[in-house]
Structure 1
Amino acid sequence: MKPTLPAKLLQALSPWRNAPAWHIAFSGGLDSTVLLHLLANAKDLPPLGAIHIHHGLQAAADAWPAHCQSVCDALGVPLRIMRVHVQPGASLERAARDARYQAFAEVTGAGEVLLTGQHRDDQAETLLFRLLRGAGVRGLAAMPAYRPLAAGHLVRPLLDVSRVELEAYAHEHRLQWIEDPSNADSRFSRNYLRHRVLPTLTERWPQAVSSLARTAEHLSEAQALLDELAGMDLQGADQLSRFPWLPLPSLVLAPLRELSDARQRNALRHWLTPLTRLPDSDHWASWYSLRDAKGDAQPLWRLADGELHRCAERIWWVPAAWSEFSDATVSWPTLQNPLELPGNGRLEFVGEVPKGSFEVRYRQGGEIIEVPGRGRRDLKRLLNECGVPGFVRGRLPLLYRDEQLLAVPTLAGLWPNATGDWQLHWMPQTCDQGLS
């Protein structure tokens, strides 16, 4: 005997029963209306709430918040209505999705769950859409049943349920839902697949939707195996750098070189996926150029959300935000210790604070510093000797007193200050993307 829709849903949600709260992404359409009704009538669940995102993209949508409010009021479920701004761009679908999920991330607290109503037909659609775009295994795995979202989780409990089952439940319980006019517009790729392509496929192969969804499951399992392999391949490369103060992800290059090209790409995709959007397989030439550059070179690979740098035999991920800082001179009254540097972390005297009036400046080239026991030394040469990565050097705060370069931060004890009774410590800025 086939399980009922409520039983199927609760089984899918069983791993999340102890979450602090469940939020339903409630558009007012068929899928989310059925999901809301099912959960509002279930017992012994975490606290339940609904979130309606108003994109402001069409006049008809102005009436939807009121409809959603009336549905939630009738079911006794609190509703939060959020208005978002959709950034203009080449893909309106993608821009709306990005705005929607950014709002969802804002309201999903630690350990909480956001539930969305995508179903089996949506999964088949997604697989076809990505197949036509030439996606790899990760993309063809389509929508995962769950994934991290902010400090909580995004869960899709209806991926094993067909649209026909949802419609039957909605009619049986006399539910009212919104039909989004844009869903009929075949200029949008997904709508074209839904209204033109999938009906033709199912006319010839009635089980096409189920078969496509099952294929996505197989590919999801294959991707899980590739992720396991990547984890094994990254173990040897994931070693602490000699610059523990530098809060950027990095890998040792030599263990990666021992892998085949395909395994290198797999390991790097796994490592970089949380940090940036990645190019397709035709655009990895920059990785090989970075990998094979001469030892004294400092090549980089520009990606969508930052850059991959190679310094000596290590690669570093440098997010776009890393270069967004002010290199203007900063006055430093020593009573203000530590000193906050605009966009560049903070600088701190450790030990007896020296007397005088100080300024913090950044490298212009040609700086000379007094090194105990070695006399006056060129700063560039000292940095080269210590192997400080090139992308850090422009951010290195330099302490001046009366136009004299007095000190450089003690970077992992590279060289001592001129006096032994204090040290200058720099704590670089961290940011959310890819930094500790």
Structure 2
Amino acid sequence: MAASRNSTPADPLLGLAAWLQPRLPAGAELWVGLSGGRDSVVLLHLLRQLLPSGQLRAVHVHHGLSPHADAWAGFCAELCRDWSIPLTLQRVQVSRAPGPGLEAAARQARYQAYRDCGIRYLALAHHRRDQAETLLFNLCRGTGVAGAAAMPGQRAWQDMVLLRPLLAWSGAAVAAYGARHGLAWVEDESNQDQAYSRNFLRHRVLPLLESRFPAAEATLARAAGHFADARELLAELAAQDQLLVQGRVAPLLNLSPARQANWLRHWLAAAGWHPPEAAALAEALRQLAVTPADGHFELCLAEGAVRLWRGQLYRVPFPGPLPAPCAWDGSGVLDWGGGRLQLRPGAAGIRPDALLGRRLELRSRQGGECLRLGPGRPSRPLKKLLQESGVPPWERPLLPLLFLDGELLACPGVGVAAAWQSGAGEPGLLPCWEGPGLSCGD
């Protein structure tokens, strides 16, 4: 966005339109996170002048944390009614359980509320001063490059695209715009409570810095931009290394320690997992370097565990309860054990006539199952067949076993009982099960 000295374009609407045009597809619905505070009211006022009727919506999240929360919701409803903008009110329960703190819990609840609305494009009213505060906050927590990059102007988050159209505007420019247009807004009393870290930075630290460095807001935001560039370079390096590593430990350990850590962080983040802190990450890589390819290695994280199997790293989500036995007609795709089961055409698969008029049942492993995979071959314990087939140990309890009239018919990843296998050149159906995110090479 072209900016003047106070980072407000000479024509705010023209500058905002130029920023938004390449980021919002033509005709796409844009939602505004409307708290009722000054910044979100200014953003809504600007976008109302830019977007045609029906393309702009607002969402207000009622956290229930303040005695004034109902009044804020009422203000937002009245504002949107006056401006002819549809408003969605979302009430949430903010967890007060021990953990990252009330601010983080409220943010998590708020973003989940946005997802529950089915929002695709969401505009948030963060500006340059918020960016400076975020950088300071993250630095005080010992962040890495990604945290020091603070907030991007555009970011994909799960199934939403987050847009921050005012990020290049100074806090003073946003305030001046609101005053110039006579806008009204609500004041959140918690914004004055310096028990919250961000408020302490806003009211005590940043003013003190600006008393010595008058351009601190702008320079801190500019530094966040430099860190964002570095973050992009590290992401590109991780993508290049992934072509070589593909989850394999041997090529990973040929990289420098810094590149090993960088690859592992991005590999975890690609699945939405949170990497461990730097010390824990370094210790995990040290252990990985001395663990044999078939040895035991496990890095436990909030979302699951990173495990080693035959020289490959896997992200393994924490398993849920084992599915109950159920009947299946073999059609379509069936959810099972957090994964997806279906029958696909394949050699040495199940003969189609095997399923005619017979009862197909799915069960989890109980132990002691045996399977004979070919004519003239002996029946063998499924445990041995799973080991020989390279099925990782954590997948084995989750595998859906197919039983026909009470006898084991097939096991995904292993094969089909000889009595019901299709012959050479005959059509067959192979059971294929894709586990819950058990991936190594992606």
* Matching residue's letter, 2:418: A
Shift in Å, 1:379: 2.1
Q: Establish whether residue 374 from structure 1 lines up as the match of residue 377 from structure 2.
A: yes
Do 1:345 and 1:429's aligned partners in 2 also have CA atoms closer than 8 Å? yes
Question: What residue in structure 1 maps to residue 39 of structure 2?
Answer: 31
Equivalent in 251, 264, 270 of residue 268 of structure 1: 264
SS at match of 2:89: strand
User: Mapping of 1:291-370 within 5 angstroms?
Assistant: 291-320=289-318, 323-328=319-324, 330-332=325-327, 341=336, 343=338, 345-346=340-341, 348=343, 351-354=352-355, 357=359, 359-370=361-372
Structure 2 unmatched ranges of 5 or more: 344-349, 423-427
User: Alpha carbons of 1:291 and 1:27: their partners in 2 closer, same or farther (altered >3 Å)?
Assistant: same
Equivalent in 84, 94, 115 of residue 105 of structure 1: 115
Question: What residue in structure 2 maps to residue 13 of structure 1?
Answer: 20
Equivalent in 276, 286, 301 of residue 279 of structure 1: 276
Identify which range, 20-29 or 76-85, moves more after superposition. 76-85
Question: What residue in structure 2 maps to residue 425 of structure 1?
Answer: 431
* Matching residue's letter, 2:411: P
Shift in Å, 1:161: 0.8
Q: Deviations over 1:244-293 (max 9, x none)?
A: xxxxxxx2333212211110110111121132111110111124324531
2-structure distance, mates of 1:262, 1:273: 17
Shift in Å, 1:122: 0.5
Do 2:337 and 2:398's aligned partners in 1 also have CA atoms closer than 8 Å? no
Do 1:30 and 1:167's aligned partners in 2 also have CA atoms closer than 8 Å? yes
Shift in Å, 1:38: 1.3
Shift in Å, 1:316: 1.2
2-structure distance, mates of 1:269, 1:34: 37
1-structure distance, mates of 2:405, 2:361: 9
Shift in Å, 1:24: 0.8
Question: What residue in structure 1 maps to residue 347 of structure 2?
Answer: none
2-structure distance, mates of 1:263, 1:335: 46
Question: What residue in structure 2 maps to residue 387 of structure 1?
Answer: 390
2-structure distance, mates of 1:287, 1:211: 36
1-structure distance, mates of 2:96, 2:25: 39
2-structure distance, mates of 1:336, 1:127: 53
* Matching residue's letter, 1:102: Q
* Matching residue's letter, 1:283: A
Question: What residue in structure 2 maps to residue 245 of structure 1?
Answer: none
User: Mapping of 1:250-265 within 5 angstroms?
Assistant: 251-265=247-261
Shift in Å, 1:23: 0.9
User: Alpha carbons of 1:79 and 1:381: their partners in 2 closer, same or farther (altered >3 Å)?
Assistant: same
Q: Deviations over 1:85-144 (max 9, x none)?
A: 2122331100110111112223354xx421100011110100000000000000100011
SS at match of 1:72: helix
2-structure distance, mates of 1:299, 1:269: 17
Question: What residue in structure 2 maps to residue 247 of structure 1?
Answer: none
2-structure distance, mates of 1:378, 1:433: 27
* Matching residue's letter, 1:363: R
User: Mapping of 1:141-220 within 5 angstroms?
Assistant: 141-220=149-228
What is the number of equivalent residue pairs in this alignment? 416
2-structure distance, mates of 1:333, 1:161: 59
2-structure distance, mates of 1:25, 1:338: 37
Do 1:146 and 1:154's aligned partners in 2 also have CA atoms closer than 8 Å? yes
User: Alpha carbons of 1:180 and 1:331: their partners in 2 closer, same or farther (altered >3 Å)?
Assistant: closer
Do 1:350 and 1:425's aligned partners in 2 also have CA atoms closer than 8 Å? no
2-structure distance, mates of 1:153, 1:337: 32
Identify which range, 88-97 or 355-364, moves more after superposition. 355-364
* Matching residue's letter, 2:138: R
Question: How many percent identity over aligned positions?
Answer: 38
TM-score w.r.t. the length of structure 1 is 0.87
Identify which range, 353-362 or 277-286, moves more after superposition. 353-362
Question: What residue in structure 1 maps to residue 287 of structure 2?
Answer: 289
Identify which range, 213-222 or 371-380, moves more after superposition. 371-380
Identify which range, 267-276 or 419-428, moves more after superposition. 419-428
User: RMSD of aligned C-alpha atoms?
Assistant: 2.8
* Matching residue's letter, 2:251: P
Q: Deviations over 1:319-350 (max 9, x none)?
A: 23xx113254x253769887764655446566
SS at match of 1:324: coil
Q: Deviations over 1:139-179 (max 9, x none)?
A: 10001111013434111111111111111111111111111
Equivalent in 390, 403, 411 of residue 409 of structure 1: 411
SS at match of 1:56: coil
Do 1:409 and 1:423's aligned partners in 2 also have CA atoms closer than 8 Å? no
* Matching residue's letter, 1:294: P
Q: Deviations over 1:201-234 (max 9, x none)?
A: 1111111111111100000001111111111111
2-structure distance, mates of 1:73, 1:403: 64
2-structure distance, mates of 1:222, 1:113: 26
Question: What residue in structure 2 maps to residue 122 of structure 1?
Answer: 130
Question: What residue in structure 2 maps to residue 230 of structure 1?
Answer: 238
Q: Deviations over 1:282-327 (max 9, x none)?
A: 111124324531122242211111111211021111223xx11325
